[in-house]
Amino acid sequence: MMDNAIVIIKTASITLPALELTVLLGVLTFCMVLRLTRIGLITAYLFIYRWGWILFTEKDEQFLTTYLIFGTTVGIITVAGIIFSRHAE
């Protein structure tokens, strides 16, 4: 399975919608200027997670399931870390 995942990643060709890429860059720029780094982090994660989802929907269901589980776990841990962080911006 790991060999197949490496081959998929090496040979992947993802066509990113220009509008989504422009919106992501605009939102990240806005967040950086206003020092809203946590919002920028979550926004970037959601956009990139969606682009990965597009890649894996065309592949085997096993890869999509693994991506869903791992991505959701990372997202939950990230949000929990942000919520329970004692560091104030």
Does residue 54 lie in a domain region?
yes
Residue 22 lies in a domain: no
Residue % of the chain over a pLDDT of 90: 42
DSSP 64-80: HHHHHHHHHHHHHHHHH
Q: Is 72 inside a domain boundary?
A: yes
- Domain hosting 52: range is 37-89
Contact between residue 79 and residue 42 where contact means Cβ atoms under 8 Å apart: yes
Please check whether residue 76 lies inside any domain of the structure: yes
Domain count, the chain: 1
* Domain presence at residue 21: no
Domain membership of residue 19 (yes or no) is no
Predicted structure pTM score: 0.74
Residue 86 lies in a domain: yes
Is residue 5 scored above 90 in pLDDT? no
Q: What pLDDT, on the 0 to 100 scale, is given for residue 25?
A: 95
